[in-house]
Amino acid sequence: MPETVLLTRPKHDLTTSYLHYWTGKLIKEAEKKGIEVIDLEKEKATRENLESYIDKKKPEILVLNGHGSKDRIGGHKNRPVLEKGGNESKSANTAIYARTCKSGADLAEACVGSGAKAYIGYRKDFIVPYNTQKSTKPQRDSLAEPVMEASNEAARNLIKGNKPKKAYRKSQEAYQEKINKVLTTYQLGKDQLLAALLHNKENQVLEE
Amino acid sequence: MSEEAENIPEDVYKIARYRLEAMPAHIGLMIGEKGNYNKEQLKEELKNRTEVGKTFARMQLRTLQSFKEI
């Protein structure tokens, strides 16, 4: 089991507010296990803080939330916290779960090439269906829940101390379980929930 | 050919439009950095063949293709 986990969870728009809430569940779980948690939330989700805490605390696991592109992950107000050709070497000796769009493409390879043990991310947009009537309270949005829970499984398993390959597999299994459930039960909006689960599952990647 | 460069057939846009019509009005999609879209906004994106519209169309096609694999 890791001793220290670092998480970024900006909260400056609708998407990041959902990521912020659902990552909070992982924080509580990690703290219950006695793991030291570095929570870079909201305006603390900056490159400077990420680098400083990595240098000081040497976390084994990085869980990075936010908007992203092929070669970077954004933090507060989308300013880059980790980027290819910038500070990817800071990820050396860590296992990373990046819940962002597209960074599973180039940034994953750059981080692993710079010494990261593994990188689980997404090579295309990370898509979440949501109930527009519940958007101010993500915890009550049962449409987003399956996507967020399946994606949480990758981070959850890294935090448990499982190897990245197992964490990736567990997340893929969680996605499939949610897909199977949607196919066999009634839920309003299930078509787009199914589409999002399938899209995210197929675009989740592991780089080692 | 990259997915971005690939042309999406009109039939796929048509299917996507029908599926969007069937979507309840209170459902939206958060599509990463591109933002969040309600049903009416998605209709516009699809009509204008924007990147969001294309993403939505591809998602619908892939979903339907996946039924063959079940």
pTM comes to: 0.94
pLDDT for residue A87: 96
pLDDT for residue B51: 94
Instruction: Give residue-wise pLDDT tens across range A16-35.
Output: 999 999 999 999 999 999 99
pLDDT for residue B32: 87
pLDDT for residue B2: 54
Instruction: Give residue-wise pLDDT tens across range A121-153.
Output: 999 999 999 999 998 999 999 999 999 999 999
Average pLDDT over residues A69-94: 97
Task: Find which of B3, B6, B15, B27 to mutate to test the A interface (most A CBs within 10 Å of its CB).
Answer: B27
Exposure letters A54-84 (e unless 16+ CB within 10 A, then b)? beeeebbbbbbbbbbbbbbbbbbebebbbbb
| A156 — pLDDT class (breaks 50, 70, 90) | very high
ipTM: 0.91
What residue in B sits closest to A67 (Cα-Cα)? B33
CB–CB contact A101 B32 (8 Å): yes
CB–CB contact A191 B36 (8 Å): no
Average pLDDT over residues A72-95: 97
Contacts of B38 in chain A (CB under 8 A): 132
Q: Output the six-digit token pair for B9.
A: 């057939």
